[in-house]
Structure 1
Amino acid sequence: MESAIMKPNIVIFFVDDMGYGDISCLNPRGKIPTPNLDRFAAEGMVFTDAHATSSVCTPSRY
């Protein structure tokens, strides 16, 4: 019997106008608590070096 292949669970949050320090797992002194995102970050991977491909946020809205 062959063993089952484990597929990873991948969740990508693609947001508009959210800064690096806007979620509490990256900025504990932030104004808005984000306990659910904090739990995702604690149990998974966090990528902290992303860049926009445009100087304005409009392309991310389409």
Structure 2
Amino acid sequence: MSQRGGRKVTVPALGVDTDLGRALTPGDVSEFLRRAGLEDVDLSEDGPIRWEGGGSDVWTGDI
């Protein structure tokens, strides 16, 4: 979580991290990725997502 709330979601595109928005839930992350053309991405710890400041189950508190 950030002071602004939520978790920042970015994807690397052509060597640059592209900001997709701030997610408040795992569902938000899935929706941002879907809009970016990335459907059915595994959001678990074992998937391709790099979670910073806590895993996919951390959505409250300061991370």
TM-score bucket of the superposed structures, by smaller chain? under 0.3
The answer to which structure has the higher strand fraction is 2
- TM-score of the aligned structures, taking structure 1 as reference length: 0.25
- TM-score of the aligned structures, taking structure 2 as reference length: 0.25
Structure number with greater CO (CA < 8 Å, separation at least 6) is: 2
